[in-house]
Structures are given as structure tokens and as C-alpha cells.
Structure 1
């Protein structure tokens, strides 16, 4: 930690002497890779919190959810956002008892014929149309219908500012109920780019799996978009931890009633902005800017340092010493 403080002190001293920004001074100490010099990436992200309804048989409720989503999209666009990120269940999070063939008091295999698929797809189509109108990238969760008797995926659709689905993330590590009775699991990570900023997607209870966040660090993402309808544990603190240990932003989108507001954690783990704490539908807007001091230091210092440490550099410094091997050698 002393070395890191000294390093940052040197960078700030150069910035003060030359009038450069912190990021420009940092490049003097840690030059960018060839072809990357002078690059600067920034995108404005809005993270949302919405009510979550659990009955996909209720067409009116699906339509109301769609209207609420589109209202928040308009607010995000009015505040200059290029990307808006919604929680799991923003249109509907089908309840396990509602869907169960053994319900309403027991959990069993889900009967997906109960879902008003035509209404759900119509609402998603309207959302895509508004994304095109607003020129707003929109990341929104929904069940993704498969063919025949196959269960759907629990998914995040990535809709471009042209109103097109450019990719889709399917939840991979589902709860026992989800994977046993409700959904088919996904198989791979998903990334996409907006204005040079690279995003990864996670969903549901995947906040509890650090290996998924580490995988996105290996894929060089700048921000992970995590959507959930709620999962046990202090998930907000986990989001901050994943941001810190991986040196990227984490967008944390939860239902309005979750108990902790949606927000965006910086690469140093601090919250940049959060939605209303009173549980009302809202968006929080932040600039993901790699010229910020926290981002520049975390990405230029923290991420390369961890990668170097994991690369096997310590092997050359290991010693062949009997006192090293003997765990009971005492003092």
C-alpha cells in the first residue's frame, strides 16, 4: 500500500507541475499500449429501479410495466444517457407459485403456457421502438421463449440505439428452483460495446459468484451490468466488492422495493450515484469516464498488478529449503 501511495503521489506531483490531467500524467508513468495513446472513452449510463410484477397471466399488468419502463427510458434520455439498464423483472418476474402446475401452494414444474407471450413480446417491441426513437441503448430482462417444450431462458436483452436486439445474455448460475422447475440455463458470457466502452452482463443470483465477475475482467470489460429481482445477502456491498477487486464499474439494478436502491459503483468501490432511497421508480445517471482519477488508477495500476501476480511470476522466487517444507518447524 505504501508503494501505491507513493506512485499516486508522483502522478499528482507531475500533474500539478505540468498542468496535465491525472490521466495524462498517469500515461507518463504507465504508457498506453501501441495504438492506444491518447484514447479516451466515456459513456453516460442510467441505472433504473422499477416495480416488479409476478403474474405473467395478467396482460394489463404487463402493459403497465411496459409503460413504466418507457417513462424511465424517456427520463434517462432527457438526462443525456446513452445506455439505460433495468432490473430483472422490469416487465415481469414470473412467480414460482404462479407458474407451478402444483400451485398455488407448492412449487412444481412451470407451465409456461400461462404466460401472455403475445403481450410480453408486444411490450418489448414497443421498448425497442422507443430505444430507436431516443437513440438509447436499452438493457432489459425478460424470459426468452425457446421452441417446443423447452423451458425459456432468463435473459437480458441488449437493444441498440437503432432499436435492434444485438445480443442477449442468459442467466447461467440459477437458483435451484429456477433451474429445476422454470428456466433453461445459459452457457456463456456476453459483451457489447457502446462508444468504445465495453459492457458485460450478469443476472439473478449471479452476484454470489465471483468467478463470473473475474471472467469479465479477463474479457477486458469496463462495466458489468448486474440485474436482479432480489437475492439473499448484502448484494449492494457485494457489487462494490466486485467493482473494487476487478477494477471496473458495476451497475447494480434492483426492484424499487428491494430495500437498497439501484446504483453504479466505481472501480474503487465507491457509489457514484444511486436511485431514490424511498423505493420509488427512478433512474440514476453517471458518466463512465476512464479519465476520472479513480478509474484511471484502478485500471492502469490495479488490474495490471493483479494480472502480473496471477501470471506465475512468483515461481522464480520460490526456494528449496527444508524449513519451508516443514510446517511444524516451529520458530
Structure 2
């Protein structure tokens, strides 16, 4: 009886301190102690419908509603963070935006974007993230002061419903750089439950230096968001995402729009370069959920860092003709 009384007192004390229910506090106290070196976080990656006309108010509203529905689904699945594709709210078509007409790509007219509607939808997304206590990362155009073009960005909304940070795509395609966006300047990292995330966007999976730099910044997972008018580019992007996960021994989340899922759906890859969770290949909005677990440091990471910093230089030889020559033996 005494032991039970002490347990009840501990449960009530924890519930009062954390705001948990009595049942949740009891479950926590009854769980076996976990290795403090192991960190874990449940995350969701989404594939969403492709909306590409920023003039269509109804489409912007529908995009926001779809996002919020997926956020609710992620919360129900126990996710702590949800990751969305590039241009989740709207991925403006380069031809719709072109000032020289649909037949030719030219400078974008950003006055065609219903910015006021976009802001309303993003504010509703922020508010829901705060209510659900769900970190939410999604792609959107970020307007600058005219005549500067917008950034192509990933917003990171905290579980308090606040903008924690923003990543702006740095290595743009020729069309984006020439006619659409202003490039960003810096890598971005943020932490959730002691797990560090990095952000990449657009076509940046083509550039290994982006992902190597994040390894040097000690990230545990890179969130890569992309898009496209067809599934044609998806296999290469997804293969590169798997390669970056394996070569840098960290997690990579790959988020793209639902039409691309016919080739490769959105998914989360582990440090071994294998998919741990993927959305369906059915062209429909969906979620994939998995637990990111970070254990004691993988020995491959520090060794590869040493190799990349010219570890082998002291072991190389000079003046040996058998090393420098072209002879067979």
C-alpha cells in the first residue's frame, strides 16, 4: 500500500508539472528507463496536390485546407514534425507567371499572386501547428520588397505556432534564377527534441556539397522538398536523396507532390540509404510516418570526416618510381 501511495503521489506531481493527464503521467513513470544516448522523434512526410496558378483563390484555399487535414492526420499518428513539398501552398507555373505569355518563358509578374489569400492560409496553418503542438515544415514563395523577386522558401513553424526559421533555395535552376526567384544565402538548421534538422529545396539534391555541408553542421536529418510538372525527374531526385543519406550516414526526408508519386512517392530514408517509410504510388495526397532514431554516433561519420580533411596525406609517398610510374608490377 505504501509503494502504491508513493507512486500515486509521483504521478500527480508529474501531471501537475507537465500538464499531462494522470494516465499519461502514469504510463511515463512505468516505462523502462531509456538509454540517454538514444534520441527518437516520430515524423511524417507528405505528398500533396499540385496547385500552380497563384491567381486562383479557390485553389489557394483548397491547398491550405488539404495541408491542415494532413497535419491533423499526422498529429493523430503521433508525429512530432510534418514535412511538406516545395511550393506546398502553390508552386507557381513559370508559364502562368511569364510576362511574355504562355508560349514562352520570360520574367515573372509577381503581382499575379494573390498574396493576401496566401497570408491568410499560412496564418491558419501556423495557428493549427500551435494547437496541435506539431512542428510543420512547408514550401512557399516568400515575397521581398519590389522590385526584388521572392525567395523560394521552406518555412519552419514551431510547435508553438511561430516561425522558427526559414530556408531559401540557394542553388536555383536556370529558369528560376533568370526569371523567377532571388537565391538564398545560407544553410539553415533547427532542433526538435535534441534532433538537428537541415533544409534543402528545389533541385538542390543535384549538388552533393549542400548535403556534405549539412553533415559538417552535425545534422541528424535533412528535409528535402521538391516539385515538378511531371514525374520525369522524380527517380533521379529520389536516388540522389538515398545516396546522400548513405554517404553522409544521416536521415533524409524526401517530399514531393502527389503527381510525382507515380514514379517515386514521398518518403523517409534512413542512414543506410534505404526507405523506411513511403507514401502510396497512387497520385493522391498522403502521409508516411516513421520514427527517426539517433543512437550512439555511427563510426562511419567521424572516419569519413577525417578522410575528407586529408587524413591520408601523411601516408602518401613521393620519390618511389613504382608509385609514380605506369608499369604493371
| Aligned counterpart, 2:286 | 282
For structure 2, list consecutive stretches of 5 or more residues without a partner in the other structure. 1-33
Deviation at 1:277, TM superposition (A): 1.6
Tell me, in whole angstroms, the C-alpha distance in 2 between the residues paired with 1:144 and 1:324: 59
Corresponding residue pairs, total? 290
Decide which of 240, 246, 249 is 1:247's aligned counterpart: 249
- Which of residues 49, 58, 63 in structure 2 aligns to 1:65? 63
TM-score, normalization by structure 1:
0.85
SS of 1:285's partner is strand
2:198 aligned with 1:200: yes
Which of these residues, 71, 74, 77, is aligned with residue 76 of structure 1?
74
Q: Secondary structure at the match of 2:138?
A: strand
Q: Deviations over 1:88-144 (max 9, x none)?
A: 121100000000000111110000000000001111110000000100000011000
2:154–2:168: 8 Å Cα contact kept in structure 1? yes
Match of 1:265 in 2: 269
* Gapped regions of structure 1 (runs ≥ 5): 1-22, 25-37
Tell me how far 1:305 sits from its aligned partner: 1.3
List per-residue Cα deviations over 1:168-204 (Å, max 9, x = no partner).
0000001100000000000110000000000000000
| TM-score of the aligned structures, taking structure 2 as reference length | 0.85
Q: What is the root-mean-square deviation of aligned Cα atoms in Å?
A: 1.5
How far apart in 2 are the matches of 1:192 and 1:315?
Answer: 35
Shift in Å, 1:42: 1.1
**1:106-117 maps to which residues of 2 (within 5 A)?**
106-117=104-115
Q: CA deviation at 1:317?
A: 1.4
Whole-angstrom CA distance in 2 between matches of 1:105 and 1:320: 61
8 A Cα contact 2:134 2:159, kept in partner: yes
Taking the aligned partners of 1:240 and 1:322, their CA distance within structure 2 comes to 40
How many Å apart are 1:320 and its aligned residue? 2.5
CA contact (8 A) 2:317 2:323 kept: no
CA contact (8 A) 1:323 1:329 kept: no
Structure 1 residues 323 and 155, CA gap change in structure 2 (3 angstroms) = same
Q: 2: distance between equivalents of 1:74 and 1:248?
A: 27
Post-superposition offset of 1:309: 1.6
Separation in structure 2 between the aligned mates of residue 194 and residue 221 of structure 1, nearest angstrom: 11
In the alignment, what sits opposite 1:14? none
Cα shift at 1:148: 2.1
Secondary structure of 2:139's aligned partner: strand
Distance 2:173 2:221 in 1: 24
* d(CA) in 2 for partners of 1:150, 1:211: 27
Shift of 1:315: 1.8
Does structure 2 conserve the Cα–Cα contact (< 8 Å) formed by 1:247 and 1:268?
yes
Matched position secondary structure for 2:273: coil
